[in-house]
A and B are shown apart, each in its own frame.
Chain A
């Protein structure tokens, strides 16, 4: 499968941690990507400017990766578009219902030792492990 990259993954993780800490230190905001995106879709206009700025920054970071570290953006998902549409609906609906995703619960919440984020992270990890077990071992090759 994929190579184990402990050094790069730790380095990237530290950068992610610094970004999360920076947004809190400078702006007082929790860095939860699903919450930021969902709030932009909503009807409440308060805080729309910083959220749109944040989304623009993510896209600018993506452009930097394309220019200087294209390997990061060289592997598409192995699954077909219909599967990805179902997955996207689940990720969008589920992160709204569960009030957070990998960043909001998995990084911000765990760093605050939040019990609800610990539960959410445990549940979405377990659901991810179970899903990949089904797709790669029970239904191997059926979905891709």
Chain B
């Protein structure tokens, strides 16, 4: 059941990305083009997703544990540091330069297009490079207390 529910969350996430317009790079670029023909659709995606989650996250943490696991992941310590800001800035430049963020790019890779596969390959290489350069900080996130898998 545990892996089945993970699978269905991912399917729902991917279909939601597709329906919302997130898998169309031109639409992402249209959202980011606030000085041009701005398409505000992505703000509605964020509002829908965050709106639902603000409520459901609050309800979830009232429980002692998740339905199919022994513990909830613990949010990371709330520190704003230089690597958070620098990393987010680099990410934002790449996002604007392509119209892809990681989820939509991976979902779009089923098209088999060379352009998406090149992006996904480079993204994986970028993640791998960071891990090689920062072996201690790049480890598994949020999961120090969730040892259920």
Give me the interface of A with B, judged by CB distance under 8 Å.
1-6, 8-35, 37-39, 41-42, 44, 46-47, 49-50, 53-66, 69, 72-79, 81, 83-99, 101-103, 105-108, 110-112, 114-116, 119-121, 123-133, 135-137, 143
B-side contacts of A126, CB under 8 Å: 92
Give the interface residue-count category, chain B. 35 or more
Give me the interface of B with A, judged by CB distance under 8 Å.
2-3, 5-27, 29-30, 32-37, 39-42, 44-54, 56-57, 59-60, 63, 65-73, 75-76, 78-80, 83-103, 105-111, 113-116, 118-131, 134, 138-143, 146-149
B-side contacts of A108, CB under 8 Å: 53
| A19 contacts B9, C-beta separation under 8 Å | yes
A-side contacts of B90, CB under 8 Å: 90, 93-94, 97-98, 127
- Inter-chain CA distance A64–B75, complex, in Å, is 32
Partner of A42, one of B80, B106, B116, B138: B138
A-side contacts of B3, CB under 8 Å: 49-50, 53
30 contacts between A and B (CB under 8 A): A2-B27, A13-B20, A17-B49, A17-B53, A22-B9, A25-B67, A26-B67, A27-B5, A27-B6, A27-B66, A28-B71, A50-B2, A60-B11, A65-B14, A75-B26, A77-B25, A83-B97, A84-B119, A89-B122, A91-B100, A94-B126, A95-B102, A96-B127, A99-B84, A107-B50, A121-B88, A123-B89, A124-B92, A127-B93, A131-B97
Partner of A94, one of B46, B65, B89: B89
Tell whether A87 pairs with B32 under 8 Å between CB atoms, given A24-B60, A123-B92: no
